[in-house]
A = this chain, B = another copy of it.
């Protein structure tokens, strides 16, 4: 099967909102007046971002989810995406599953596939996603201010827990492993929460490389520091510390990676509004610390003492 047949069989759908979709040299996008276009690209490589054994439908979901998560972190509404795909062979069962998972999540967010590229090569998935955000209202990493609260959405560390289960580092109960694996393979991009936080949150980032690593980007961009209460963060592991012991639980929550939750800051006067944004988007939100003028990131244990322990960030390159 040639490139063009592959594309049209699995990925070609008529353009809906976009002026021009798949099938010309370019797609055409027309952001509404007063809107800026938010753009993000993520590349997923077999063996690095996913295991070769992953269900293709789940992989299709995840490939788009990690990109939608970047839109969520900017408070943007999804519009469209392009897909570039390098495949070792034209495996129809794989393509059918992959496109099913991909397009189901796309439809859920009214995010239209408008173009792309298919080639033969080692399995590699590159998605570029486009969203709309009112001019000047995007959530940035640079807006955190001393005195703000530090919040996170959803649960943290589940993907890392599953990874350690796959690696055999941790022996997990069957149910715990299955639930953690589902979070790793089909993360939930917090798209509705991101939009609900516009005008409330002072900064936001999506947690793809681990809470501590990503939080450092916010602190650096904002020129501030933070104190994080690990006793508030620890319960965010969905399986609970009992699943793997408290030490591992803390590693998963603070330095797990692959979470695709939002870490965000907001003035402490806006606590009720943050809670309301969480409720309106059916997304749990948890306050885990505060932003301070003093640079650096300080971890407190349950007794309010400095936690003496190192955590490596999660980096898809090193």
What is A's interface to B at a CB cutoff of 8 Å? 1-4, 6, 19-20, 23-31, 33, 36-43, 45-49, 70-71, 73-74, 76, 80, 82-87, 90, 114-122, 124, 126, 128, 130-131, 133, 135, 138, 140-142, 204-206, 221, 315-318
Contacts and interface: CB of A to CB of B under 8 A. Distances in A.
A120 B316 contact: yes
B20 A40 contact: no
A315 B119 CA distance: 9
Name the 7 nearest CB pairs between A and B, nearest first: A3-B317, A45-B121, A126-B126, A25-B73, A26-B38, A43-B84, A128-B128
Contacts of A37: 28-31, 37
A119 B208 CA distance: 13
A43 B127 CA distance: 11
A1 B117 CA distance: 30
A2 B318 contact: yes
A64 B23 CA distance: 20
Contacts of A39: 26-29, 80, 82, 114-115, 128, 130
A118 B316 CA distance: 8
Contact of A124 (B28, B43, B73): B43
A126 B121 CA distance: 13
A94 to B, nearest CB: 14
A39 B31 CA distance: 13
Given A6-B317, A26-B131, A29-B39, 15 more contacts: A19-B135, A24-B74, A25-B40, A25-B70, A25-B71, A25-B74, A25-B204, A26-B74, A27-B38, A28-B138, A41-B126, A41-B128, A49-B119, A90-B317, A120-B317
Given A20-B138, A36-B30, A45 B119 contact: yes
Nearest to A317: B3
A28 B36 contact: yes
B124 A86 contact: yes
Given A30-B36, A90-B317, A43 B120 contact: no
A2 B141 contact: no
A276 B189 CA distance: 51
A151 B71 CA distance: 42
